[in-house]
Structure 1
Amino acid sequence: MNSGEVIAGAVGRASLGYSAIGRQVGMAQCMESVAPPGGVMLSMATAQLVQDVATLGEPEWVQIKGADRPVQARRLLALTPRIARQISAESNFVGRRREMAVIEFMMDKTVRGQGCVMLLAGPPGLGKSRIARESAARAAARGFKVTWAFGDAHRRDVSFGVVAGLLRSALGLDDLDLDSARAQVLARFPNACAQDLSLLEDLLGIADPGVPLPAIEPDAKRRRLTALINEESLARTEPSLTIIEDAQWIDEPSEWTLVELLEVVPRAPSLVLITARPEYDGALKRSTDARIVELNTLGDADIEQIVIALTGSDPSVTQLVAKVVERAAGNPFYAEEMVRELAQRGVLSGERGAHVTSADVADVAVPATVQATIEARIDLLSGRAKRAVTAMSAIGLRMEEQLLPALGLDWAVDELLDAEIIERVGAGSSVEYVFRHPLIWAVAYRSMLRSQRAWWHRRVAEVIESTKPELAEQNAALIAEHLHAAGELHAAYSWHMRAATRSTNRDVRAARSSWQKAAEIAEALPVDDPERLSMRIAPTTMLCATDWQDYGVRCSAVRFAELSRLCDQAGDAVSLAIGRSGLTADLIFAGRTSEGARLSSEQIAVLESIGDPSLTMALAPPLFVNWLEAGDVDQVSRCAQTVIDLAGGDPTKGAGFGLASPLATAIAFQRGRAMDGR
């Protein structure tokens, strides 16, 4: 192999591609001729270019054809593993004295056992992630254990995705196999009962598939898990820093779980730093005692320091630095991207921090916006790398390393790392590649044609399912989102329903989110689609049945009216009865007992007409409360006895819809009525 300048182009009228000619091509052929069998010989020009990413032999003298004397060359022994390479160096950390003073003050309190929560809000590019990294470095230097979690726009529908990732990182599970991970959890929670350990393993995605989950109501599961984790947090004496980036993209179940976990922070040696965009108004902002710090733009003097650290201080770049500072308008990321674009374009030459330029600054065009700067940087990549970076954007902000070979994109990683488009994070089996900034991801994603975007989303869904088939149900919501973006509406609907089924006994909010998305997909289908009616009924039924469990929903009657219309068209009495159960429960919480008792009587009549014992047992017990509140104890007694008779002594018959044992519920009401009679 040899490196140097050549003449490249199409040669001849019937050329089938590009050819390269020149002295350097001949030198490469000479290197090939002196390479040992099965080996690779590099000219010194090539060796100098690759010495940081390859293991080379000592320089040796070789005699090549046509040369009067020997030349030096080096054997290629091995390539340095990609995961060992360093990410690009950070720009200088300047400014932000006020923000860092607040964080240092919070670190001092944390060391004394008085934990704190801080929400850092600001527009893209102002340096939220840079402050987070600086905080992590300072905390680590003070002996803090640092843990990270990230929101991702493409993963907002993966229930508990963020909190599970955070806990896996905190517990040191990322590089462990399933058996080792379960052993690690047991060691960290030695006093936990078997049921709580099973719930925690399920949340972390390390549960033994052969062990069934405990039959516990979803809210009770969350309370038990929260209590278990909070107990461990309060027992720790080592100070910790938890960083949660991009809160605007956190899935809702994770968000509410984090709110509950943060309740004990003031009593633990824990500092939590959350970053978010200004428009974020979620639970982590509204339902915690977080100190909110809003980022402003940097001053010109600070931006100038950042730019000079990248360009160097050669007199030839002075005017160009001033132009970049003016255009950046206080946005450090914009300033950095402009310098990178100028270097890629060849306006700046030399090494980072020691650039020079021969260009007339008046003739140098600088993109007007940060988006235009990113577009220009992507456009300067090789054609194949450009196609790869847009394809990678379909995966999301963060990409698991093992996905890239399966998608045929791993070959582009080196060029994108060198161009500072992506970075490598993590180690071992948990390596990921991350877009350097969400704006880079957004520009790359928007640059794709709709047909390209659909193709890649479809391909990503296929790869996620095929590379980890054992995690298909766990990844159901993510697969559904990719298929929806690909325009595969029927497939996306199916995966959303699978995601809801998995979440039903884990977190009803997550299940409702999946049902809602499935309902919206079904609504969007062509009117003449033969499956449209049944596809609309299924998720709407479950939304009606669970409306009472979402305390922010008080539109049960409206939704139920829509379900009634759909079920009348389809002649579907069963779905209508299931949906009606949610409305009867909602009337209990609304205190409308007489209306609830009347609807409950209608419901039991419908169930008797359907004649399905399991359905009657599942839906009848909740009706008892309405009758009891209305004073109709005889109806309670009659219906409870019906359930007892239908059960035939089987405590699990008719289980579901929030009840682990309809028989036990009916017996409890029957005995309560008997005691009232005495």
Structure 2
Amino acid sequence: MNEREQLEQAIAALEAQRAMLGDAVVDAALGSMRATLATLQQERAPEQRKHATILFADLAGFTPMSERLDPEEVRAITSRHFHEVTPAIRRHGGRIEKYIGDAVMAVFGIPTAHEHDPEHAIRAALEMQQALAALNDEMEPEWGLRLAMRIGIHTGLVVVGYLGEDFTVVGDTVNLASRLEGAAPVGGVLISHDTYRHVRGLFDVEPLEPIRVKGKAEPVQVYVVQRAKPRAFHLRTRGVEGIETRMVGRAAELLHLQQALRAVRAGHMCQALTVIGEAGVGKSRLLYEFRSWVELTPDELWLFKGRTAPEMTRLPYALLRDMLAFRFQIQDSDLAEVARAKLVQGLLDFLSDEPEAEMKAHFIGQLLGFDFSASPHLRGMVADTKQLRDRARYYLSRVFTRASEQAPLLLLLEDLHWADDASLDTLAYLVQECRALPLLLVATARHTLLERRPDWGEGQPYAGHHRLHLAPLPTQETHQLVDEVLQKLPEIPPALRALIVERAEGNPFYVEELVKMLIEERVILPGTDGWQADPARLADVRVPPTLTGVLQARLEALPADERALLQQASVVGRVFWDSAVSYLAEQEEAQVHQTLMHLRQRELLYQHEVSTFAGAREYLFKHALLRDVTYESLLKPQRRLYHARAADWLNAQGRAQAEQYAGLLAQHYEQAGERAQAAPWYRLAAERARAAYANLAALDYYQQLLPLLAEPQQIDILLKQGMVLEVIGEWHHAEESYRQALHLIRQSGSDSPPLVEEAHCQQMLGSFFYFRWRYQEALECFEQARHGYALLGDQVRLSRALDSLGGLWLWQGEYALAQALCEESLALRRTLGEQAGMSDSLLNLGAIAYFQGNPTMAWTLYQESLALLRQIGEKRKIARLLRYIFKIPYEAGDYDVARTIAAESVALSRKIGDKRCLAIASGYLGLAMIQQGESGLGWSTLEEGALIARELADPWLLAEVLGSQGLGAYTLGQHEAAERAITESLHLLQEKVPVRWHSARLLLCAALVAAARGEPRLGWERGQESLRLAMELDIKSGLAYSLIALAGFLQTPGAALRLLAGAMEQLRGAAAPLLPELVPVRERIIQAARAEMNPAPFAATWAEGISRPLPQLIADARLCPP
């Protein structure tokens, strides 16, 4: 060891003893030693200033402990200590600069600096503490002691002196690292803010109060590192030329976000905030600062993070997929089975003790495009796209529910204006469904989001969802931002400041980009020790008047090879991969990587820590606007060439990846002018979107596809487009699409294929008209479909057409015709063994029997249908069928059975996310509860059903649920509430939904309500209308019910008793039970007659009523209005 090294080691040893000896003693001793060292250092090779990370580690309390040990024991202990803990330094790329007694100093970043040196130093420090803990377990039995270590880490400029391959490191950075080691908690790792800003987001840290350090004018902010994050996402320092800048002018908005998270953590309801602002106004910076603040809060939470890009707008559920891929570390380059396994495992971690957890994970995966179509849990479900969507969304809400039981949830979503509609719909659903959970959603978006979703963030769909608008910075705050960005200038020339403030117009991104442009134009000259300005050059610089112009100027100033590569990257998208750009540029990846590194140094690009394609580096344009400007700078022939290569590269990544990005592939091929190549990908993208119930995306793809096809090829697409338009409620356009398909079919001739297509088209048009209550048009279409399928010998589709015709006649009250058609359909389906179809036919036949007043037959048919559905696992149809079955025991007064049936329907509907069925079943369950005496619970269940029905805004659904609510209110004696509900229901049925059977039943209830409210004349009129409809529809039980209700309005007890007796006989003949609401009417009539008559006249009157024919009973009911 030479003289210089001995002197440096002595100085370091004294520094290590500062805490024990005191500053005065150490400083006095160091004065002459440092002077001597300075003389020796002049003889060495030229020194260099470099950025490095310094680590000091020292055993705490070891000196007094060693005084009671033999020197050889001390040496043995320290040797074992260094042997165990120092390998971690080397594993992470550090170099041990020196040992000082029981302390060690290590350097990261010399001789070669790496971007991740601060991270590597911290990971080494954590492993050193772990290694010491393991060593203690071994030494304690032998020596009876446990060692403890402090570690301090600081990052900054150091002076490096070289002597051959050896080097020494000195400077303020070294001194501060040593002081941090002395201030660190025993067993802890203490880092400075200059280190922390390089590793923000990678470790769990605890911020401490700033500490006073000798030689520093201001206190030093420090952090204790607790552990590495299991799911880390690096938060890069924001600024210019690597200089950290504070956020300016957004303190109130940041406080708003912080208070929202505090409220969520305090147990308040879900909060959703969408930050709205124009490009460059500071949305991402605000989110960054919020995330940085969250990093330093002690409480745990679940983080879900996602970002969209323009090319994702048409990809169904792309944002949600990105969010879960982040959480579960799924890469786009993962094999399909690997991606599925990661997703399922990630979801099961939250759903571990949830019933049927794997099934729920598979539904979510199928919806998000991970292709679980082969899963036994999805048997029969893949084609039922609405059920798939509804159940998957509900199961996703269960994931959030279970996760929230462990910790609050934080969803951070960027660039929502480019999000696909399916993701936006699902986010709205989740915010509503999870409104009672500790969940905070923070999203950023431009104002264009509000053009698509005008109500977004204004209490829609949930009152806890708000907008947070970011306006441009005021002039004073723009001045502050310029000062912050140019903090390295000793003095900012007034002309330079005025130029930036005036041109930026309060846009922070413009400020940063303009400063970078001025650096490139050498108006501002960055340096290691500070910056300089050259005001003379400012007059010669042409500063563009807009942000786009500044970006264009920066782009034009790039070397040709860098500009060309950036343009090629812009074709791939805002997010891109080096392997893709290498393919587009036809360059080696090493060469591309070098150029991309230069573009990163110019702060035009970021590199993601983790790539979604394994083996490729993933990059991101710093701002979406920069990507747009770069793309627009390409000439059209270049664009076509690069789009074709981008499509080829994506296609080469594997079939699963290509299918996932089918829509993007189609766009690349179309923009390349290769329409024939684009068409099959658009078709695939549309089918995948429709299968995921992402109807707007499917419609968009169909509309892109149609112009690429010849007319005969358009027919199938027009039919599918019509189905999508029908689902989203675009009735007029759906009909146009179907009719256009029919026109093309008839244009093509009369040979066999068009006959098949026409039959399909007529069946679809018939269903369209049927659900729009245009029965005559539906009848014509179904008849033509039936005729076509019969000619073709297509028994499966013929059975479907027959069942459709049967259902149509059923709702028009033509029961004999309906029954014949449904029985023919059932016979065909039994022959074909088509169980799902058989269950449909049996349901229709059961409904016919019920409406004709034969509940026993209806029960038998319903039960056979139910057995088939349970066998094939059709949960949606089971839930629906149970609603039909409910009415039979309910009307028979068997409320226990009725309640059990309704409760199963409610539970199933909730499980699969079928809100339509849930609304009706909740109404039925509420009625059964009320009849069992649970009035409070029953009424709240009825109200829940009505709330869901209003939310869905379906007239027929709302009319049905309001009818139940009205009946429930009548049973409870709440006659005003009953009148309101039934009146609204009748209005919907008469104005919106021409379903006359429902009107007949509601009018009956309305008559009873009017009587209870003391309006007998109105009640009698409603009863007469109910009777008229029952006669028209030939509903035998309905006729009897109306007659009983009307008997209650007759003035003389004898006439009322005679009509009641005749109606009860008609009811017996129809094998129908007396409705619960009519029981009090019957009892009241009998009681009044007994009060007026002796037993003999009473019996004679009853016998007379039984013997009267139906026409006479009807005539009796029409006499003597009150």
Query: Where in structure 2 are the equivalents of 1:199-348 lying within 5 Å?
Result: 199-206=363-370, 211=375, 213-216=378-381, 217-235=384-402, 236=404, 237-281=406-450, 282-283=452-453, 284-285=456-457, 286-289=460-463, 290-311=465-486, 312-315=488-491, 317-348=493-524
The match for 2:812 is: 630
| Structure 2 counterpart of 1:105, from 259, 283, 296 | 259
Q: Distance in 2 between matches of 1:378 and 1:353?
A: 28
Deviation at 1:130, TM superposition (A): 1.0
Q: Distance in 2 between matches of 1:576 and 1:647?
A: 23
CA shift in 2, pair 1:353/1:466, >3 Å: farther
| Structure 2 counterpart of 1:376, from 541, 553, 571 | 553
Q: Partner letter of residue 393 of structure 1? A: S
Q: Distance in 1 between matches of 2:467 and 2:529?
A: 35
Question: Does 447-456 or 87-96 show the bigger shift?
Answer: 87-96
| Structure 1 counterpart of 2:283, from 118, 121, 128 | 128
Query: Where in structure 2 are the equivalents of 1:77-116 lying within 5 Å?
Result: 89-90=238-239, 91-114=245-268, 115-116=270-271
Deviation at 1:332, TM superposition (A): 0.7
Deviation at 1:238, TM superposition (A): 1.5
8 Å Cα contact 2:722-2:737 kept in structure 1: yes
Q: Distance in 2 between matches of 1:517 and 1:505?
A: 13
- Counterpart of 1:100 in 2: which secondary structure? helix
CA shift in 2, pair 1:49/1:308, >3 Å: farther
Q: Distance in 1 between matches of 2:348 and 2:282?
A: 39
CA shift in 2, pair 1:60/1:614, >3 Å: farther
| Structure 2 counterpart of 1:669, from 835, 844, 862 | 844
- Counterpart of 1:467 in 2: which secondary structure? coil
CA shift in 2, pair 1:180/1:586, >3 Å: closer
Deviation at 1:334, TM superposition (A): 0.7
Query: Where in structure 2 are the equivalents of 1:617-656 lying within 5 Å?
Result: 617=799, 621-647=803-829, 649-651=831-833
Query: Where in structure 2 are the equivalents of 1:393-412 lying within 5 Å?
Result: 393-400=570-577, 403-407=580-584, 410-411=592-593, 412=595
Q: Distance in 1 between matches of 2:528 and 2:407?
A: 39
8 Å Cα contact 1:515-1:543 kept in structure 2: yes
1:437 aligns with 2:623: yes
Report which of the two has the higher share of helix: 2
1:386 aligns with 2:569: no
Question: Does 322-331 or 262-271 show the bigger shift?
Answer: 262-271
The match for 1:514 is: 698
| Structure 1 counterpart of 2:779, from 593, 597, 604 | 597
- Counterpart of 2:364 in 1: which secondary structure? helix
Q: Partner letter of residue 472 of structure 1? A: A
1:568 aligns with 2:746: yes
- Counterpart of 1:504 in 2: which secondary structure? helix
**C-alpha deviations, 1:385-426, integer Å up to 9, x for none?**
211111111122222565445545743321221111111234
1:451 aligns with 2:637: yes
- Counterpart of 1:92 in 2: which secondary structure? coil
CA shift in 2, pair 1:318/1:643, >3 Å: same
Deviation at 1:85, TM superposition (A): 10
Q: Partner letter of residue 604 of structure 1? A: R
Alignment TM-score, normalising by the size of structure 2 = 0.50
Deviation at 1:591, TM superposition (A): 2.6
Question: Does 122-131 or 538-547 show the bigger shift?
Answer: 538-547
Q: Distance in 1 between matches of 2:733 and 2:116?
A: 64
Q: Partner letter of residue 413 of structure 2? A: I
Q: With CA pairs under 8 Å and 6+ residues apart, which has the higher RCO, 1 or 2?
A: 1
Deviation at 1:294, TM superposition (A): 1.5
Deviation at 1:327, TM superposition (A): 0.8
**C-alpha deviations, 1:478-504, integer Å up to 9, x for none?**
212222222222222211211222333
Report percent identity of matched pairs.
20
Deviation at 1:324, TM superposition (A): 0.8
1:611 aligns with 2:793: yes
Question: Does 122-131 or 607-616 show the bigger shift?
Answer: 607-616
8 Å Cα contact 1:541-1:576 kept in structure 2: no
Any gaps of 5 or more consecutive residues in structure 1? Answer: 1-46, 63-82, 526-530, 654-660
Q: Distance in 2 between matches of 1:552 and 1:500?
A: 18
Alignment TM-score, normalising by the size of structure 1 = 0.80
CA shift in 2, pair 1:602/1:317, >3 Å: same
8 Å Cα contact 1:497-1:515 kept in structure 2: no
Q: Distance in 1 between matches of 2:528 and 2:477?
A: 19
CA shift in 2, pair 1:188/1:552, >3 Å: same
Question: Does 428-437 or 532-541 show the bigger shift?
Answer: 428-437
Q: How many residues align?
A: 596
| Structure 1 counterpart of 2:677, from 476, 484, 491 | 491
8 Å Cα contact 2:555-2:563 kept in structure 1: yes
- Counterpart of 1:315 in 2: which secondary structure? coil
Q: Distance in 2 between matches of 1:643 and 1:515?
A: 33
Deviation at 1:562, TM superposition (A): 1.8
- Name the Cα RMSD after superposition: 3.2
Deviation at 1:547, TM superposition (A): 3.3
CA shift in 2, pair 1:429/1:159, >3 Å: closer
Q: Distance in 1 between matches of 2:369 and 2:162?
A: 51
The match for 1:41 is: none
The match for 1:168 is: 325
Question: Does 367-376 or 206-215 show the bigger shift?
Answer: 206-215
1:587 aligns with 2:769: yes
Which structure has the larger Rg?
A: 2
CA shift in 2, pair 1:629/1:674, >3 Å: closer
Deviation at 1:475, TM superposition (A): 2.0
Q: Distance in 2 between matches of 1:507 and 1:577?
A: 25
Deviation at 1:152, TM superposition (A): 1.4
| Structure 2 counterpart of 1:417, from 600, 607, 628 | 600
Q: Distance in 1 between matches of 2:669 and 2:803?
A: 39
Q: Distance in 1 between matches of 2:762 and 2:694?
A: 18
Q: Partner letter of residue 727 of structure 2? A: Q
Q: Distance in 1 between matches of 2:781 and 2:496?
A: 76
1:140 aligns with 2:326: no
- Counterpart of 2:634 in 1: which secondary structure? coil
8 Å Cα contact 1:53-1:85 kept in structure 2: no
Deviation at 1:153, TM superposition (A): 0.9
Q: Partner letter of residue 313 of structure 1? A: L
**C-alpha deviations, 1:644-672, integer Å up to 9, x for none?**
4444555558xxxxxxx333322332344
Deviation at 1:258, TM superposition (A): 1.2
Q: Distance in 2 between matches of 1:587 and 1:645?
A: 26
8 Å Cα contact 2:435-2:462 kept in structure 1: no
Any gaps of 5 or more consecutive residues in structure 2? Answer: 1-108, 118-159, 166-231, 240-244, 855-1122
